[in-house]
Amino acid sequence: MIVFGTRPEAIKIAPVISELAKTGSLKPIVTVTAQHREMLDQVLDVFSIRPDYDLNIMRPNQKLSEISTRSISALEKVIQKERPEMVLIQGDTTTAFIGALMAFYNKIPVGHIEAGLRTHDKYNPFPEEINRRLISVLSDLHFAPTKMAYESLAREGIEDKKIYITGNTVIDSLLGIVKTDYEFNHSALNKIDFGKKKIILVTIHRRENWGIPLKTICLALKKLAEKYSNIEIIYPVHPNLKIREVVKTVLKGNPQIHLLPPLNYELFSNLMNRSYLILTDSGGIQEEASFLGKPVLILRKVTERTEIIKVGTAKLLGTEKDRIVHEASKLLTDKDEYSKMAKSTNFYGDGQASKRICEALLYWFKITRERPVNFKVGTNNA
Q: Is 159 a catalytic residue?
A: no
Say what the pTM is: 0.89
Q: Which of 92, 129, 287, 288 is catalytic?
A: 92
pLDDT value of residue 240: 87
For residue 298, give the amino acid letter: I
Left (φ > 0), alpha (ψ -120 to 50) or beta: where does 142 sit? beta
Banded model confidence at residue 381, pLDDT cuts 50, 70, 90: very low
Q: Which of 36, 132, 142, 238 is catalytic?
A: 238
Q: Is 238 a catalytic residue?
A: yes
Q: Which of 9, 19, 114, 266 is catalytic?
A: 114
At 240-279, the pLDDT tens digits run 889 999 999 999 999 999 999 999 999 999 999 999 999 9
Q: Which of 128, 129, 208, 350 is catalytic?
A: 128
Q: Is 76 a catalytic residue?
A: no
Q: Are strands 198-203 and 277-280 parallel, antiparallel or unpaired?
A: parallel
For residues 94-109, average pLDDT: 98
Banded model confidence at residue 378, pLDDT cuts 50, 70, 90: low
Domains and CATH numbers, the chain: 2-168+349-364 (3.40.50.2000), 184-341 (3.40.50.2000)
Q: Is 205 a catalytic residue?
A: yes
